[in-house]
Amino acid sequence: MAFRDLLEGVSRDTAPVSVDLEMRDRTSATGGMGVVYSDVIEAPGHSAALDVLVRDRLCEVFSVSPGELIDVLAWGMANPEHPVLVDPSEAEVFQCRQEPVDLYGIPIPRHYQEDVGRYQSASVIIAEYGGIRNMSYHRQLLRDETHCVARFVPRHLRTMYEMARANGDEVPIAVVNGADATVLLAAAMSFNENLDELTVAAALHNKLHGEPLRMVELPNGIAVPADSEYAMEARITLELDDEGPYVDITGTVDEVRQEPVIEYDSVYHRSEPVFHALISAGVEHRTLMGMPRAPTIKAAVSDVVHCTDVYLTEGGCGWLSSVVQIRPQNDGDGIKAIHAALDGHRSMKQVVVVDEDIDIADPSRVEWALMTRWQPDTDTVILSGQKGSSLDPSRNEDGTTSKIGMDATLPVGVNRGPYESVL
């Protein structure tokens, strides 16, 4: 299975389209149904796919329900395995090589007028340094034919980069675009320990596709998924440059910072490659941010109550707000679930807890549960002085915020008749 499997049945747009602002404008007319542009003006021979990595399509490709997918992701975290290394002759990503390297010839888009330039936002960085391998997402501003400026948030890759910089070293990396969905989901996961995300991807790939995840080494020794659309050999240099402004997942404009420069040494791609041109603050962005956090929240809640499902909401940008579905067995289970959910995802500032009869992905049904089953004075938890998310512009100057949880579950043993809708 490969990224191209996500494109089965996706609408194809054959009219010429520019990477400068036109893709997002045209895609918005599809209503989030997904589209592949086959005639990108700035990148002849390359296509671009948008809005294809969404929850419903993932469940269809994997033949699982949304709740089952969360459980499978959790299983992958708990059961990592090593991928299989194949010969370069067996790797689809080595079908073509760009000569010379020219990142302008790839459909890297500029989606918003407010963005300073063209950004690759769905590309995954695979880095190795000090015996540790990390795979993660970091937006990259296209600076020139062979350089990007990457925003490194304070996570594992930032730590790796700062360690290398202190030693005067560059960090060899691979930049991958258009990998299998299991790889993309694993890359979005975050762990407290240095768990190799590619081993989680390998476990998910084997479980969901029934075959090992195939990897191939680039000339710099970094292994990449063999059936990726693009695999680019690069280095995180010691140079810094301006990055931003950029429209982030909340739809607000992120500031300009001095960030590391990445120099690209070679670009490999499949024949007739399809670039994953994710729209920041769009449905794919929210999917990649939120879905990999749901298993962590569910695990935390399951430690204290019977949790059946978790959904990070679109209004909360797939990050700041969630709905947690539980099966209450004792009085106070809803309140316990609130505290556990907020502990399970420290960036979250709001959680609503509901019963199993509520569709947690339907905001109207969630609000209905609140209005018919929740009393603000007894069923609400408010916490002050909490660690906030850098994505929340309303956080305090010291980075703290307040958080709220609402228990919209029915008391155990209550006559449910008056609380159940016939609609």
For the annotated catalytic residues, the residue numbers are 248
Cα distances (Å, whole numbers) of residue 174 to 41, 122, 145, 220, 267: 26, 14, 17, 9, 10
Q: What counts of helices (H) and strands (E) characterise the chain? A: 10, 23
Rounded to 5 degrees, what are φ and ψ at 106? -105, 145
Residue with tokens 């500032």: 349
Do the beta carbons of residue 321 and residue 347 sit within 8 Å?
Answer: no
Rounded to 5 degrees, what are φ and ψ at 23? -60, -50
Nearest to 205 by CA among 185, 190, 189: 185
DSSP 314-383: TTTTTTSEEEEEEE--STTHHHHHHHHHHHH-TT--EEEEE-TTS-TT-HHHHHHHHHHH--TTTSEEEE
| The two structure tokens encoding residue 70 | 């969360």
Cα distances (Å, whole numbers) of residue 70 to 211, 233, 386: 20, 33, 27
Q: How far apart are CA 57 and CA 51, in angstroms?
A: 10
Q: How far apart are CA 341 and CA 320, in angstroms?
A: 12
Q: How far apart are CA 401 and CA 321, in angstroms?
A: 14
